[in-house]
Amino acid sequence: EEDEEEAIDEEAFIITTYKPEVEPRDPRTKAFWKRHMGTDSLVGSYLFLLSSVGYLSMTIYSLHQKSNTATSVQFALQLANVFSAVLFTLSSLYFIKLSYPEIIMLMIYRSAAIDPETMTFLERYFTANDMLIALWLATAALGLPYLSLVLYECLVLGEWVNGLIVFLTTILGVALSGVMSATAMPDCMRANNGKGTRVVFEKCVVPLLGLKNDSDRFTFYSKHLGNDGLVVAWTLGILGTLCGIPVTILVILHPRSISMWLIFWSTMPFSVGSLLFVRASYPETMNSSIFFSDEENDVSHGIDEGTPLL
């Protein structure tokens, strides 16, 4: 009972430290925007949501455009894309929820305080925290719609070749996303005294770059790739950047194309958000922002946080 009371006290302290006593509700004030956009994680999460909504809009538009001319295989694929976009949108909503500072700190505290052995199987591997739920929703978005498509193509349409191609692509995406989900599991978060697992660093980065006998380079790469969470963040950041460049060029070349603009809005917010998540993945910048000052009583250009901006 004493341990439970201490845990409750600690969680209450975290909430009072990172959450304002009174929620700011006036969007004309800086306090409102600092509460909901005051960290890189929050801005990145809202950008992910914007990207998901853009992707959903793109899939619905594509489905509408091809509804009269698409073959059965093409129409089924478009439906799968819409279903996937809906799941990505739900995942983005969870990312917003988990990105508030008090939720992040509670997640870190609980991962250290609660023994995974006391959890049910479902909690331990799927629902232990909001990050884990969000990542599994993203994995489901890559898997469920397209596995359903595989069954439909193979069993109903008899398109075994197309079904096999979709199946192999889906398995690859689910496997990569599943690895990301694993980094948010309690066992992985508790590893290395709460710093998280570092399988990629120890098994890939160190031997491939020859860091074992080079202390300076080992320290550098350990800072930036020293746990699997950072590896995932950098992977998404690089992927987002590589995806953002060509879609920007396409929308410049075809400024009147609705399809190009939908592709742009489904990609560019993700590109920027993924880079913000890289910064937010470092302990020293976890709950900070490149847009807002970290000072508690921040006054910017003479405007107090509670002063209306308009």
Q: pTM for this structure?
A: 0.86
Q: Say if residues 247 and 272 touch (Cβ distance below 8 Å).
A: no
The secondary structure of 91-153 as a DSSP string is HHHHHHHHTSHHHHHHHHHHHHHS-GGGS-HHIIIIISSHHHHHHHHHHHHHHHHHHHHHHII
Phi, psi of 305 (to 5 degrees): -60, -35
Task: Encode pLDDT of 148-175 as tens digits.
Answer: 999 999 999 899 999 999 999 999 999 9
Q: Say if residues 209 and 221 touch (Cβ distance below 8 Å).
A: yes
Residue written as token pair 């913000």: 276
CA distance 116 to 30: 40
pLDDT at residue number 256: 93
Q: How many CA atoms lie within 13 A of 213 on its CB side?
A: 0
Q: Is the pLDDT of residue 303 over 50?
A: no
Across the range 139-147, mean pLDDT stands at: 94
| Banded pLDDT at 193 (limits 50, 70, 90) | confident
pLDDT at residue number 294: 58
pLDDT-above-70 percentage for the chain: 92
For the CA atoms of 109, 289, 278, 260, the dihedral, rounded to the nearest 10 degrees, stands at: 130
pLDDT at residue number 263: 94
CA distance 166 to 9: 50
Element (H, E) at 10: helix 2-18
CA distance 196 to 185: 10
CA distance 17 to 11: 10
pLDDT at residue number 5: 61
176 versus 2: the higher-pLDDT residue is 176
| Residue 126: closest CA among 140, 108, 112 | 140
The radius of gyration computed from the CA coordinates of the chain, to the nearest angstrom, equals 22
pLDDT at residue number 6: 63
Task: Encode pLDDT of 245-282 as tens digits.
Answer: 999 999 999 999 999 999 999 999 999 999 999 999 99
Q: In Å, how far are 54, 61, 95, 231, 254 from 259, measured between CA atoms?
A: 11, 8, 27, 33, 9
| Banded pLDDT at 112 (limits 50, 70, 90) | confident
pLDDT at residue number 308: 47
| Residue 91: closest CA among 192, 223, 195, 180 | 180
Cα angle 141-278-299, degrees, rounded to a multiple of 5 = 115
Element (H, E) at 244: helix 228-253
Across the range 295-302, mean pLDDT stands at: 42
Q: Is the pLDDT of residue 4 over 80?
A: no
Task: Encode pLDDT of 64-101 as tens digits.
Answer: 888 788 888 889 999 999 999 999 999 999 899 999 99
Q: Is the pLDDT of residue 299 over 50?
A: no
Structure tokens at 263: 């592709």
Count the Cβ atoms, other than its own, within 10 Å of residue 232: 22
